[in-house]
């Protein structure tokens, strides 16, 4: 009887040990695969200035804040970085399908996304602003005035959710460049674009001939941007976080940010009075 009880206990202990090993192997599988290949495949849009874009007159050398951060992470981990371009709405599905190992494209960390994906520590802190027509601010004085307006954006972005939350219709686009969005606001096809403060500020600076502007009074929804990975890629997540922490401590994140954000450090939390949006389920 004692031998049977001992055998039963050993079986339970073995089962727990095997389960633990299986879990560890699963979280490390993605990193082992990447390390063996010596290459990490990263999804990005290539059309999001200044996070991920091609310099004017070049269609060969992708660059940007996010792109150069990813290249630096690859260098420090001894990996070649291969970029694959997708529209914003296609990046998360590309991770799920295994077509890419991770995505970096000013992707906001949300509770809903964390149910399906793993995120690195944030490499960028910001908040949302709104591009409107220059002559009349598109008839918008407060966020509640979005009711009945048309907002340009990607279908599955957080910014589209904010627009819908306040009653706007969202006009969606494929993987198009900033000038397409801005000219649609200028000519009245849309009324506004909600997006990141840093990205919108620099987009306007790069396209000064388009008669649109940042809304002078609306700053809302503080954000954290991070690298997105498969949910079970625990070891990969750890490696990326360790590298990002090194880059933060040695000033590399600040240096890259100032290069692409007009001397501003987007790697640190902004000191601004920013409106939190109540009831927004992200």
Range with the poorest average pLDDT among 1-5, 36-40, 49-53, 181-185: 1-5
- H helix and E strand count, the chain: 9, 13
User: Which has the closest alpha carbon to 120: 104, 137, 97?
Assistant: 104
Average pLDDT value for residue range 39-51 = 94
pTM here?
Answer: 0.77
State the pLDDT at residue 173: 86
Average pLDDT value for residue range 255-273 = 93
The C-alpha angle with vertex 106 and arms to 104 and 109, in degrees rounded to 5, equals 95
Rounded Cα distance, 180 and 173, in Å:
9
Band of residue 17 on the pLDDT scale cut at 50, 70, 90: very low
Rounded Cα distance, 185 and 181, in Å:
7
Share of the chain above pLDDT 90, in %: 74
Say if residue 16's pLDDT is above 50.
no
The residues that bridge with 151 in the sheet, in sequence order, are 170, 192
- The more confidently predicted of residues 49 and 268 is 268
- The more confidently predicted of residues 260 and 9 is 260
**173, 154 Cβ separation under 8 angstroms:** yes
The residues that bridge with 43 in the sheet, in sequence order, are 84, 103
List the domains of the chain with CATH numbers: 11-123+226-250 (3.40.190.10), 125-222 (3.40.190.10)
Tens of pLDDT, residue by residue over 132-191, are: 999 999 999 999 999 999 999 888 888 999 999 999 999 998 878 889 999 999 999 999
The C-alpha angle with vertex 64 and arms to 50 and 72, in degrees rounded to 5, equals 150
User: Which has the closest alpha carbon to 194: 96, 82, 275?
Assistant: 275
- End-to-end CA, the chain: 56
State the pLDDT at residue 5: 46
- The more confidently predicted of residues 10 and 273 is 273
Tens of pLDDT, residue by residue over 175-220, are: 788 899 999 999 999 999 999 999 899 889 989 999 999 999 999 9
Mean pLDDT, the chain, whole residue set:
89
Band of residue 26 on the pLDDT scale cut at 50, 70, 90: low
């Amino acid at each position: 009887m004692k031998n049977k009880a001992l055998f039963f206990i050993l079986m339970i202990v073995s089962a727990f040990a095997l389960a633990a090993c299986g879990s560890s192997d699963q979280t490390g599988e993605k990193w082992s695969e990447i390390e063996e290949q010596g290459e990490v495949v990263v999804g990005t849009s290539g059309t999001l200035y200044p996070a991920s874009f091609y310099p004017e007159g070049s269609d060969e050398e992708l660059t940007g804040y996010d792109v150069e951060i990813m290249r630096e992470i690859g260098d420090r981990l001894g990996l070649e970085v291969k970029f694959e371009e997708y529209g914003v709405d296609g990046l998360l599905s590309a991770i799920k399908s295994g077509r890419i190992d991770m995505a970096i494209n000013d992707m906001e960390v949300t509770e809903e996304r964390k149910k399906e994906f793993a995120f690195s520590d944030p490499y960028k802190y910001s908040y949302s602003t709104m591009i409107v027509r220059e002559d009349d601010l598109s008839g918008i004085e407060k966020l509640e005035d979005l009711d009945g307006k048309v907002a340009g954006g990607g279908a599955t972005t957080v910014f589209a959710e904010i627009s819908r939350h306040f009653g706007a219709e969202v006009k969606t686009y494929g993987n198009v460049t900033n000038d397409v969005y801005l000219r649609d606001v200028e000519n009245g096809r849309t009324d506004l674009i909600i997006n990141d403060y840093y990205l919108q500020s620099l987009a306007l600076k790069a396209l000064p001939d388009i008669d649109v502007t940042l809304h002078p009074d609306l700053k809302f929804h503080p954000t954290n941007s991070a690298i997105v990975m498969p949910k079970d890629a625990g070891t990969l997540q750890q490696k990326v976080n360790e590298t990002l922490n090194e880059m933060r401590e040695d000033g590399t994140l600040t240096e890259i940010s100032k290069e692409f954000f007009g001397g501003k450090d987007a790697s640190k939390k902004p000191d601004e009075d920013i409106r939190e949006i109540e009831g927004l389920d992200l």
